Structure 1
Amino acid sequence: MTEPSDLLDIDSLLTAGELTMREKVRGFVDERIRPNIANWFENAVFPQDIVREMAGLGLLGMHLQGYGCPGRSAVEYGIAAMELEAGDSGLRTFVSVQGSLAMSAIHKHGSEEQKDEWLPRMAAGEVIGCFGLTEPSAGSDPGSMKTFARRDGGDWVINGSKRWIGLASIAQIAIIWAQTSDGVRGFIVPTNTPGFKATPIEAKLSMRASIQCDIELTDVRLPATALLPNAKGLRGPFECLNEARYGIIWGVMGAARDSYETAVNYSQERLQFDKPLAGYQLTQQKLVNMALEINKGMLLALQIGRLKEAGRLKPHHISAGKLNNCREAITICRDARAMLGGNGITLEYSPLRHANNLESVRTYEGTDEVHTLILGNHITGIPAFR
């Protein structure tokens, strides 16, 4: 069946396996997320019982190879992210934090012993991970982080704080990035280690069906084996962030598509002046603009996915995708909300929930400004971050 938003037969560019993945994840979203998401969002509930179900679908660390990970393609991962975010950004964020951040950190930078110990259990949903990079005073500039790890004999001792850390209060392990006398290093920190404290941030207007936390690290003592041996400097966390940013490029198009389809259906059923809203020129113009941007965003995501699969993906490709698709998706969701009138501010309809969530998605893993400057640096050869 042709996608309602597909003006350009984009489906013809997808393989049979990619289409099968889309239907599998979409079915899960339709059955498990859509009937419950308004209640989860209103009551700020992250449904932990679906973690094992997501693992059963092969969604955790799905793009990673070996160690019990699913080993799916970049485009398959992107499609899964899109379908999950059509349900809710918070649920896609869980998969991103678990797989693209915490698991990727271990997969890219860990020792064989660390990979064998953690990755199979994380892929199975038995262990949840989080990724501690951002700090209260270090968001877009992680190089100014104050968390510090010092050597004490054969151990490491970490002190500092992190903020906006997804899943930290329910995670069993945290990937913590800290300054050391040898530059920025990453550590696997079991969250039951004395001195580790995660506190959920509760007063949120966005991502309410997700968990973000403050972390305090007070004399957290770790053995030498906690250090990720192959990560040194900010390149370590940035390589993980690029994995998460890639998923966002696809994911936000799911939120946009769901909002667009909601607006189409509503405009066809809602009568104004004895005529469906869909019959008015201004309505059709809005729907056309939404559909065009969804199609352009999908083609952008797909091209970036094919570059990733070919081993040709560059950081500026990711910045182009995240900047454009987040910017356009949030506009689509806001315009869809406006088309619903007063009904659009209720949780009966998805666009305003999506728009609120996208305020977070647009901010994390690099703000619009950061990605603009990455692209500006690529175009001009002149870094303008300071």
Structure 2
Amino acid sequence: MEDILVKTSTHDYPIFIGDMLRFQLHQLIQKDYTAILIVSDKKVAELYVGDIVSNFPERKVYQSIIPVGEQSKSIDFFYQLHSDAIKFGLDRASLIIALGGGVVGDLAGFAAATYMRGIDYIQMPTTILAHDSSVGGKVAINHQFGKNLIGSFYPPAAVIYDTQTLRTLSEEEIRSGYAELVKEALIADETFCNRLLKTNLTNLSSDQLTNHLTNGIKIKASIVGMDEKEKGIRKHLNLGHTLGHALEAEKGYGEITHGEAVAIGLLFSLHVSESLFSRRLPYLPLFHWLKHNNYPLNIGELDEESVINRMKTDKKTLNERIQMVLLKQPGEIIVQELSDHDIQMYIQSFRRRLVKE
């Protein structure tokens, strides 16, 4: 079992990574909580909620199950979690366990941050993608005008990552998660990036996956430790997300996975970076890797004005000017302000390049 410590201004918390950890919660959770609410989606709940409950035979354990998909990161299901917590009698000494992917983690974490002004929660990610969202304490729900616009910084009490749960993931979910791993590698570790771009996602070994996840989490934990509230370097973790989030909202949440949208956003960031800085960056290696691993790269017809307006809802935007995270070279990141006209020109040239390649 790997044990990583994340340092924050609120409190430090551990990340445990290993096989079958869902059966060891009674050892990993030391605090004596008055009640536990497990939040999960219907698909994950069928597979693993029973395993979680079996850890706590002497405690009050309740469940709140939400539908699968990004649509559940809404004000309605946020309210439902609060209603369930009240109905089950949770108090300030209770615990919420977020069992699932990024949607469950973000929603349950935001509910924990706001229920009775904040109670403990533990992230138990069951997807590769959630290795990123479960670390760092960013919790949120979506607004119809943009992703993650309603939320908070609220660190978990722990992250418990049972890698055995990843064996049931679909190819789509694996693709989605690996886009965030590539993002982290581009930001901080060129050697790791080169290794990822040689990986065949349809033939992953357990050792490969655990190694890649551990490297990605260490990068994320290091950046969060330096900049918890996203005042500086943590903004770099938004590489690929300015266009990625806009595509998710434009196409409708759930029509394209978060990771697949980020993958297109990463390519776009590299495309813009090559043009702005007149440097050869790993656009082509990334493009060919994404294509080889069946990422959907055909973004189709776009209302460019609408996409640009959605990009302006990105949390880095200042005075209605889009701030894009760009790459001078792997490991060297810069945040650059771009005009609407420039963004439109880059979107048009990017779409032509996607078809040409």
TM-score of the two chains, using structure 1 as the length reference: 0.28
Rg: which structure is higher?
A: 1
Larger strand fraction of residues: 2
TM-score of the two chains, using structure 2 as the length reference: 0.30
Select the structure with the greater relative contact order (CA < 8 A; seq sep ≥ 6): 1
